[in-house]
Amino acid sequence: MNHPSSLSEEQIRKVLRGITVPPQPQIIVDIHMEQAMPTPDINHIAKLISQDVGLAGSILKLVNSNLFGRKNHISSIEQAVHIVGLQSIVHIVEGLSIKGEMTDETIVAMGGLWDSAMEIASYCATLARMIGYQSPDKAYCLGLFHNCGVPLLIKSFANYPDIMEEAYGDTDARVIDTENRILKTNHAVVGYYVAKSWHLPRDLCEVIAEHHNARILFNSGAVYAYDGGKKTLLAILKMAEHITGLYDILGRQQQDYEWESIRPWVLEFVGLSEIDFDDIYEDIKMGNTTSAHGSYYDQSAKR
């Protein structure tokens, strides 16, 4: 398996030929600089965000959406930052800046991918808490950025939505196999370089690169070694993708062939039975994520 971090500079140039990786917007740089201070000033970060009317409005709209499940609407950026938390706000701003790189035509062509990224991110954080994973913020970030290569490929290849439909409809090959055959690259590798250029944590970059290799990574008979923490993140992501229905949103399929091929291994790894997962699925879809299911949600707390 050819991992992006092992590619030569020439191979990297070939992968990204004709694809422009968006630079990290200045507001993100400024926020990260404030984060690096010994005592970050949350009010200063709120002020930075407020300088961009569109960004500030988008954050308030998102924070007040049903993804966060708040009864009372938030009316100020400062309040939003304090309630949601610094790390989550940074991830949201980063995600919105990716959307800002797209034309209206690209957003329409994505057919709901942007909204699904926010939903998957929210579900990843919820699933992380449910199974006892210690870093729900990291899971949220993975959900938000795992498909960040997709909009760049849509901008570069007019037929990319059709390629994705073909890829998700293949019951045997990996999604990225179809992309590699037609485009000589794939959204997982491109996403890896976007995430890396934006200085996301190394483990997240690597999970983004591998997120369509789940059949290999979770197959109990596979000899490919993979870090347990990254494997847990990948398991959370694949569950969240399935619950969101990404196979329909992105692949225009009625069945989630990828999930069906990995479901037993993923559930075994996180210590969930089929019934357990079905219950979690229903809880999340119904918005009931605080019910007492400790008998199985706590089984993976050791991970």
**What value does the CA radius of gyration of the chain take, rounded to a whole number of Å?**
19
Whole-model pTM: value is 0.72
Q: Alpha-carbon distance 37 to 112, whole Å?
A: 37
Q: Alpha-carbon distance 225 to 213, whole Å?
A: 13
pLDDT of residue 286: 83
pLDDT, tens only, 255-291? 999 999 999 999 999 999 999 999 999 988 887 665 4
Q: Which domains does the chain have, with CATH numbers?
A: 24-100 (no CATH), 108-303 (1.10.3210.10)
pLDDT of residue 237: 97
What does 154-202 look like in DSSP terms, one character per residue? HHH-TTHHHHHHHHHH-SSS-HHHHHHHHHSS-HHHHHHHHHHHTT--H
pLDDT, tens only, 247-257? 998 888 999 99
Q: Alpha-carbon distance 79 to 60, whole Å?
A: 10
Q: Which residues of the chain have pLDDT under 70?
A: 1-25, 52-55, 57-58, 66-71, 75, 94-114, 199, 220-226, 288-303
Summary count for the chain: helices (H), strands (E): 20, 0
pLDDT of residue 67: 62
* CB burial string 120-142: b at 16+ within 10 A, e below: bbbbbbbbbebbbbebbbbbbbb
Helix 86-100 / helix 53-63 crossing angle, nearest 10 deg: 120
Residue 171 burial by Cβ neighbours in a 10 Å radius (0-12, 13-18, 19+): exposed
